[in-house]
Amino acid sequence: MKTADFLLEIGVEEVPDWAMVLLIDLQARLLDVLAQGVQLECERHATPRRMVVVVRGVHEKEADTTETVTGPPVSAGLNAAQGFGRKMGVEVERLKKTLTPRGEYYSYTRKVKGRRTIEVLSQSLLGTILGISGPKAMTWTGKSGPRFIRPIRWIVALYGGKVVPFELAGVKADRFTYGHRRLAAEKRIRVKDFEGLREGLRRNFVLLDATERHERIVQGIAQLGVRARLDESLLETLVNITEFPTPIVGSFDPGFLALPEEVLVTVMQHHQKYFPVEDEHGKLAPQFVAVMNIDADPDGIVRHGNERVLKARFSDAKFFWETDQKRPLRDRVEDLKHIVFHAKLGSYYEKSCRNVLLVQALDGDAAAQRAAELAKCDLTTELVKEFTELQGVVGGLYARAQGEPEEVALAIHDQYQPVPSTKTGKIVALADRLDTLNSFAQLGLLPTGSKDPFALRRAALGVVRILIEGREAYSLSQLAPSRELREFILERLRYYLREVCRYSYDEVTAVLAAGADDVVDAYARLDALSEVRRTPNFEPLATSFRRIKNILQQAGHQATEPADPDVLEPGPERELYEEYRRVQSKARELAYPDALKAIASLRPHVDLFFDKVLVNDPRPDVRKNRLNFLAQLLREFSTIADFSEIVISGEQQK
């Protein structure tokens, strides 16, 4: 069957950076329409004004199929059968009698010819495109009109070089695309295929490939002769919001360098989408790099415009900084009574008081308590009202400038970091997250579905990261007063271990089944288990532990008394017991990796025991003692991990 490529370009008004992810959904929907069970090669591209997908090697028509049509019951007689035959276009003799649960019926199996691909596309593209409208869709032809992320201005839809006929919001699919809004030399560009589209756009100052735009920015900055701080997130944003990016360098009054670097960088990077520039010593220089969406700025008009805007923003920041300094943080504590944390949980003043009490409960010293008292005060400052992303950072800067101890200033500054840099900071951040979690848990607002309006999963993940990465040895039972909250934090612990640390599902399950109250200890056990699992004795021993667990469950054995050595019989049973006692004594003194290796060394003795010894011995005292011994063995060595949860090679993981 012949194949051809399908090309779709949706031309729109400029879309925001975050909307680029919708292109993945568009590709998936097109493949659903075109794949027909065949693996197809697909390529996607986007700029602020277009979404492009090309699907290669699409069959020219759908595969032919058959369908069986059920007619009247046989009991209805010949006339009914003849009527059904006429409807199917065949003689009665070609009908089949089919036995169904309701009785015997006439049926006919007919061949259904597959539709031409261009016909399939013509009928499906409207729904396919509108199906990716996104959470902030717009209408532009009236309230009842189609919705899309931005108004659609042109559509290129070609299969095998031919236009796929369909219409969306008054825009008919065609073979004409449009270049750069300001720089394009051609009014419109005729397209035959994807390569023609890409080269036609390049002639008209549109770089369709995001990788090419990325390289143009990076290489352009290198040619400016400055040391720009290339933030990858900002770089990706600039790639997504430009079609022909060109970096330029601007400057600002060195007097603004008296402001804290965090403030200057936030204004440049987050508000203006500029890259800060540093000198040869790594200090901030009075320059910046902007990326414009044109090819050149020979008269410096764009540069002057960016400098003027940045000067205004820096002037505002300087004014707010100087104004805020007139009232120190310690005088702003009472002001927190007028800022609501949550309608049912009171003000930020009340939250700060709870945070201080939690810091005390976590054995925080006077510096930690002072930091918790002042941590939210920067919410009342003009600088945070203007630059909300600097919450916490501004408080730390103000605390330092106002003579608070450095330990207090650092704790306030780092309170929203994933893991603060100091012991005091970790205690303050931990208390803040725990108060938020416990407060909302008491209201019954812990999320159970996908929605999480108060970012409680992020708060719980913050607790986990502070405990593990910050090496803070608090128990969950100490931190979380309710079982519901402990389970919520444990769910985030599982996520962290599996998705962030990339430990396997069964290893995480095995370790947490052995206990997770001490999160730091659980992490250490998991790391050791992951390391030792690769040794040859481990998985066979895990199989034996599962066998022991099954034997005890089938026997209904729940006794906790140890085995009586005098009842053990000479040979494999006593040898296993003696080896168990030796490993037991040794493992208690070893670090987890070595302890697990010692336990794994039991494997030959366990194998021999199951090969030579009958656990369910007909003698009641011997049988009971053997079950006690197996229970003792399982109980003793399951404190690191429940080995029965390990998925053995060849088994399907849960």
CATH number of the domain at 393, please: 1.10.3210
Judging by DSSP bridges, how do beta strands 65-73 and 41-47 pair with one another?
unpaired
Is residue 25 within 8 Å of residue 31, measured between CB atoms? no
Q: Single out the residue of 492, 495, 504 nearest to residue 529, CA to CA.
A: 504
- Bridge partner list, 105: 73, 98
pLDDT for residue 36 is more than 90: no
Q: Are 632 and 584 in contact (CB under 8 A)?
A: no
Reported for 532-538, long-range contacts at CB under 8 A and 24+ positions apart, including other chains, are 532/593, 532/596, 532/597, 532/600, 533/507, 533/646, 535/597, 535/600, 537/600, 537/601, 537/603, 537/604, 538/596, 538/600
C-alpha pair distances (Å), 465 with each of 269, 417, 457, 497: 27, 10, 12, 10
Given a cut of 50, is residue 304 above it in pLDDT?
Answer: yes
Mean pLDDT of 138-166: 93
Residue 377 is assigned to a structural domain of this protein: yes
Using the Cα atoms of residue 140, residue 146, residue 152 and residue 154 in order, give the sign of their dihedral.
negative
Q: What's the pLDDT band for 651 if we cut at 50, 70, 90?
A: low
Same domain? For 53 and 82 the reply is no
Domain match, 139 and 42 both: yes
Cα(69)–Cα(86) distance, integer angstroms? 13
Q: How far apart are CA 460 and CA 466, in angstroms?
A: 10
What's the mean pLDDT in 164-171?
94
Would you state the pLDDT for residue 634? 86
Tell me which residue has tokens 């012991």. 423
Total of domains in the chain: 5
Residues 348, 450 within the same domain? yes
Looking at the fold, whether 100 and 128 belong to one and the same domain comes out as no
DSSP single-letter state for residue 532:
H
Tell me phi and psi for residue 4, to 5 degrees.
-155, 165
Residue 54 inside a domain? The answer is yes
Q: Is residue 407 part of a domain?
A: yes
Tokens of 335: 């002001």
Structure confidence by residue, pLDDT tens digits, 371-430: 999 999 999 999 999 999 999 999 999 999 999 999 999 999 999 999 999 999 999 999
- Which two structure tokens, joined as six digits, stand for 361? 């409960």
Asked if the model's pLDDT at residue 654 lies above 60, the reply is no
pLDDT at 560 over 80: no
Whole-number percent of the chain with pLDDT over 90: 72
Half-sphere exposure of 286 (CA within 13 A, CB side): 11
Per-residue pLDDT reduced to its tens digit, 528-544 = 999 988 888 888 888 88
Compute the distance between CA of residue 604 and CA of residue 622 in angstroms, rounded to an integer.
23
Q: What does the alpha-carbon distance between residue 429 and residue 421 come to, in Å, rounded to a whole number?
A: 11
Range of the domain at 614: 533-645
Same-domain pairing of 476 and 560: no
For 373, the enclosing helix (H) or strand (E) is: helix 366-374
Chain centroid to CA 101: 49
With a cut of 70, say whether residue 559 has pLDDT above it: no
Return the pLDDT at 114.
85
Give yes or no for a contact between 505 and 653, defined as CB atoms under 8 angstroms apart.
yes
Q: What is the CATH number of the domain that holds 42?
A: 3.30.70
pLDDT at 279: 94
Average pLDDT score over the chain = 92
Residues 189, 85 within the same domain: no
Regarding whether 18 and 142 lie in a shared domain, the answer is: yes
If asked whether residues 340 and 408 sit together in one domain, one would say yes
Q: Which of 249, 255, 254, 253 is closest to 228 using CA atoms? A: 249
Asked which of 165, 187, 203 is the last residue of a domain, the reply is 203
Reported confidence tier of residue 37, pLDDT bands at 50, 70, 90: low
Q: Does pLDDT of 524 surpass 80?
A: yes
Choosing from 290, 308, 324, the residue where a domain stops is 324
| Average pLDDT for 43-54 | 94
Indicate whether 146 and 94 sit together in one domain.
no
Is residue 604 domain-shared with residue 636, that is, in the same domain? yes
Residue 466 lies in a domain: yes
Helix or strand holding residue 601 (H, E): none
Paired tokens of 587: 């493992």
Q: Quick one: average pLDDT of 212-229?
A: 96
The closest alpha carbon to 115, from 70, 44, 164, 157, belongs to: 164
Residue 432 · residue 415 · CB < 8 Å:
yes
Coil, strand or helix at 95: coil
pLDDT, tens digit (0-9, with 9 covering 90-100), for 603-637 = 899 889 989 989 888 999 999 999 999 988 888 88
- The answer as to whether 516 is a domain residue is no
Report pTM.
0.78
User: Quick check: is 515 in a domain?
Assistant: no
Whether residue 33 is found in the same domain as residue 123:
yes
Answer yes or no: is pLDDT of 512 > 50: yes
Establish if 94 belongs to a structural domain.
Answer: yes
Q: Is residue 46 part of a domain?
A: yes
Do both 544 and 624 map to the same domain?
A: yes
- Percentage of residues in the chain having pLDDT higher than 70: 98
pLDDT of residue 633: 87
Entry field: residues in the chain: 654
CA distances from 630 to 10, 30, 366, 380 (A): 68, 58, 52, 64
pLDDT in tens, 491-500: 999 999 999 9
Final residue of a domain: which of 291, 309, 324? Answer: 324
Sign of the dihedral through C-alpha 460, 462, 465, 467: negative
- 143-166: average pLDDT: 94
